[in-house]
């Protein structure tokens, strides 16, 4: 991903984006007990986010996939998805997902036995969560720091962080997280030989997890209970809980249950079963590439071979145990880990200061260049806007038109793809409202072509039939854009065009996609346009339809582009739609033209609210 802050390219949150965000949060909250159905939901949510190019949704969905895979012991897959998600969070550090991503990354490295990296990541997550005032992530950080300190046998510090995390989670009333904290406090109490207290915490955790049906989390609590009974030499109870634990799906949990039951079988004289289970545990530990678990299995095997009177194998396993343990608990390693705590705060502060300084210099230079380029481009577009507006006719050019016609013209950008045009010749008033492909500069260029060709067709060639004017305009657009045989560019325009004979009291109307509304005696009559554009089309040889209408005093006609009806807004972020536009026009059609224009603009602004304008807007009303 480009390292430009992707917030600048994020879509404004709409209904689809909100649904994706809600699903991501729900799935994150159930990460400890994700089911097969949950995995499908996560994948489906990622697909939905990618389909609409919603970068925030994609990042959180990948974070959820990483968590789901981690809790199924698929650490390599988890790391791959987490790395993808991290690219977005690294550029959006004010997101709560940033702290979550750091925490999960620490989980993965902890499972590999890389305690240096783990401690550094979890200290970083703790700092980030406090800076963001993200209480949930702060509680998780405390829980994780408690875990790493227990691994390092610093049980006092482990309990300090775990109890702090438990308090936060209880205040948040997050029962599943509370159960996790209780489980870890039970583990530390067991490691410090406080067995009865440990069992109390474990059974409190088990109660919550069973009540909340945390299927994948329950085995971890059962494992803790089994470990405690084993330490208490209550082997029958211990073996019973180890057997229950083996029904779980997390490989790390199953491995430890196998290893524990192997140790218990060894103590109770079932050497054959003990060796089978410990050997399987060793295979799984190698598969998971966990130095910690490998050390524990080799220690258990050494004890087994010693009791089985196999000294050579016992010595070999014991040497392997020392080798694996030394890799993460040597004095040198422990010293480096201690230094990380001190160095982390200092180095981070210095790095951030230097990064800020460098970025400030680089951004200032980039900003100056961009500002200069932007000024040149904006000046050019503003000049193009003046040219475009000069081409648009003024109502005062035609006597009396100003008092009976309004034009609501709201370009999306500086220049517009919508245009209006009128002229009076041979006693007839010809009026057109056009909507060109696109908006901004491309649309503006098309609109200028449209105005130029209408001038040529009506005022020079003196073609005054509405259908023939559109047919000629189509020919000119196709010729100008080199459109032939249905190939090449599909650019063109939609248009409604009226030829009004005030003396004969008649109106000719023809349209390319843009309809005409006529309100007579408080009733709105809709005249349908042909469903073919001014431009290349598979039936370009067909003539446009001409509607001949006899006018009556008090008739009002409305011509428009699709920008007003297509605007998103209102309480539910939906399109305004043509039915609503018809009703509103019928409501205001008796007002003077100046008031109609103001009411329409007020209605549009009210509907749009804080949403971005999606297209150019043009509405013209005329009293006949």
Residues 294 and 420 in one domain: no
pLDDT at 33: 60
Torsion angles phi and psi, residue 608, rounded to 5: -65, -40
CA–CA separation, 226 and 183 (whole Å): 13
Q: Please name every residue paired with 429 in a beta bridge, in sequence order, or none if there are none.
A: 424, 500
Residues 275 and 424 in one domain: no
Residues 503 and 590 in one domain: yes
First-last CA distance in the chain = 58
pLDDT at 54: 93
- The per-residue b/e assignment along 519-535, b for 16 or more CB within 10 angstroms, e otherwise, is bbeeeeeebebbebbbb
**Inter-residue long-range contacts of 12-21, CB under 8 Å, 24+ positions, other chains counted:** 12/611, 12/612, 14/568, 14/573, 15/572, 15/573, 16/48, 16/52, 16/54, 17/52, 17/54, 17/56, 17/57, 19/48, 20/45, 20/48, 20/49, 20/54, 20/57, 20/61, 21/56, 21/57, 21/60
pLDDT at 345: 44
In a domain? residue 71:
yes
Residues 431 and 565 in one domain: yes
Measured in residues, the chain has a length of 624
In a domain? residue 515:
yes
pLDDT at 296: 87
Ordered mean pLDDT values, 10 residues apiece, the chain (624 residues): 35 77 86 67 89 93 88 80 88 90 87 79 89 90 90 88 94 92 95 94 95 88 94 94 84 90 91 91 86 85 84 82 68 48 46 51 61 67 70 84 92 87 92 83 81 91 94 89 62 92 95 95 94 82 92 95 93 92 95 94 93 92 93
- CA 246 distance to own-chain centroid: 38
Assigned token pair, 33: 């007990």
The enclosing domain of 484 has a CATH number of: 3.60.40.10
Residues 316 and 394 in one domain: no
Report the domain count for the chain. 3
Q: Please name every residue paired with 525 in a beta bridge, in sequence order, or none if there are none.
A: 518
pLDDT at 352: 52
In a domain? residue 125:
no
In a domain? residue 190:
no
Residues 317 and 392 in one domain: no
Of 287, 322, 357, which residue sits at a domain end?
322
In a domain? residue 428:
yes
pLDDT at 364: 59
Q: Of 47, 109, 99, 55, which Cα lies nearest the Cα of 78?
A: 109
In a domain? residue 471:
yes
Query: 568-569 and 492-501: which strand pairing?
Result: unpaired
CA–CA separation, 472 and 465 (whole Å): 11
Residues 318 and 410 in one domain: no
Residues 508 and 585 in one domain: yes
Residues 290 and 437 in one domain: no
> Are the C-beta atoms of 292 and 113 separated by less than 8 Å?
yes
In a domain? residue 39:
yes
The enclosing domain of 294 has a CATH number of: 1.25.40
Residues 272 and 398 in one domain: no
- Domain residues for 559? 388-623
pTM for this predicted structure: 0.47
What residues contact 484, with CB distance under 8 A and at least 6 apart? 478, 536
Q: Of 547, 576, 548, 560, which Cα lies nearest the Cα of 621?
A: 560
> Are the C-beta atoms of 478 and 546 separated by less than 8 Å?
no
In a domain? residue 526:
yes
Residues 418 and 279 in one domain: no
Of 322, 340, 362, which residue sits at a domain end?
322
- Please give the C-alpha separations between residue 570 and each of 342, 580, 603, 608, in angstroms, as whole numbers: 54, 12, 11, 7
Residues 448 and 546 in one domain: yes
CA–CA separation, 420 and 590 (whole Å): 23
- Sheet (strand 617-623) strand order: 405-410, 617-623, 556-560, 516-520, 523-527
Q: Of 615, 592, 176, 225, which Cα lies nearest the Cα of 405?
A: 592
What is the sign, positive or negative, of the torsion defined by CA atoms of 619, 620, 621, 624? Answer: negative
Of 37, 71, 92, which residue sits at a domain end?
92
pLDDT at 366: 62
């Amino acid at each position: 991903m480009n390292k430009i802050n992707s917030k600048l390219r994020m879509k404004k949150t709409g209904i689809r984006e909100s649904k994706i965000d809600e699903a991501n949060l729900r799935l994150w909250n159930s990460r400890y007990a994700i089911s097969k159905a949950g995995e499908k939901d996560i994948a489906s949510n990622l697909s939905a986010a990618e389909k609409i190019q919603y970068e925030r949704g994609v990042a959180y969905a990948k974070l959820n996939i990483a968590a789901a895979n981690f809790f199924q012991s698929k650490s390599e897959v988890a790391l791959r998805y987490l790395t993808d998600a991290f690219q977005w969070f690294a550029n959006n550090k004010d997101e709560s997902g940033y702290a979550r991503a750091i925490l999960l990354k620490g989980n993965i490295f902890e499972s590999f036995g890389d305690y240096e990296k783990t401690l550094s990541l979890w200290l970083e997550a703790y700092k980030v969560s406090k800076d963001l005032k993200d209480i949930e992530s702060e509680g998780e950080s405390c829980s994780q720091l408690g875990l790493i300190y227990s691994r390092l046998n610093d049980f006092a510090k482990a309990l300090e962080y775990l109890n702090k995390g438990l308090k936060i989670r209880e205040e948040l009333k997050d029962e599943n997280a509370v159960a996790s904290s209780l489980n870890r406090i039970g583990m530390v109490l067991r490691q410090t030989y406080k067995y009865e207290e440990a069992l109390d915490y474990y059974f409190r955790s088990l109660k919550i997890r069973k009540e909340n049906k945390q299927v994948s989390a329950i085995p971890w609590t059962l494992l803790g209970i089994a470990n405690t009974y084993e330490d208490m030499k209550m082997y029958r109870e211990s073996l019973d809980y180890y057997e229950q634990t083996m029904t779980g799906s997390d490989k790390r949990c199953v491995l430890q249950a196998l290893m524990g039951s192997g140790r218990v079988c060894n103590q109770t004289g079932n050497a054959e079963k003990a060796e089978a289970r410990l050997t399987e545990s060793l295979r799984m530990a190698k598969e998971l590439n966990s130095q910690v678990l490998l050390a524990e299995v080799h220690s258990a095997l050494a004890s087994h071979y010693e009791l089985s009177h196999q000294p050579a194998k016992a010595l070999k396993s014991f040497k392997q145990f020392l080798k694996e343990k030394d890799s993460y608990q040597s004095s040198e390693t422990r010293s480096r880990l201690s230094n990380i705590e001190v160095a982390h705060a200092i180095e981070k502060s210095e790095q951030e200061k230097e990064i800020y300084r460098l970025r400030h210099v680089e951004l200032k230079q980039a900003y100056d260049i961009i500002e200069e380029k932007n000024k040149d481009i904006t000046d050019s577009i503003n000049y193009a806007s003046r040219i475009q507006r000069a081409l648009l006719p003024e109502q005062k050019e035609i006597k009396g038109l100003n008092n009976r016609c309004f034009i609501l013209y709201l370009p999306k950008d500086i220049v517009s793809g919508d245009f209006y045009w009128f002229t009076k010749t041979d006693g007839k008033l010809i009026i057109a409202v056009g909507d060109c492909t696109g908006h901004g500069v491309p649309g503006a260029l098309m609109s200028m072509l449209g105005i130029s060709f209408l001038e040529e067709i009506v005022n020079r060639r003196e073609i005054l039939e509405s259908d023939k004017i559109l047919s000629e305009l189509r020919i000119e657009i196709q010729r100008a854009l080199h459109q032939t045989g249905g190939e090449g560019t599909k650019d063109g325009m939609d248009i409604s065009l009226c030829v009004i004979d005030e003396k004969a009291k008649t109106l000719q109307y023809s349209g390319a996609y843009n309809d005409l509304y006529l309100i007579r005696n408080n009733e709105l009559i809709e005249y349908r346009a042909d469903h073919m554009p001014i431009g290349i089309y598979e039936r370009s040889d067909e003539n446009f339809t001409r509607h001949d209408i006899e006018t009556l005093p008090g008739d009002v006609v409305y011509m428009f582009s699709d920008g007003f009806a297509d605007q998103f807004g209102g309480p539910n972020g939906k399109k305004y739609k043509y039915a609503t536009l018809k009703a509103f026009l019928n409501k205001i059609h008796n007002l003077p033209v100046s008031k109609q224009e103001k009411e329409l603009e007020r209605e549009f602004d009210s509907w749009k609210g804080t949403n971005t304008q999606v297209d150019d807007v043009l509405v013209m009303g005329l009293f006949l």
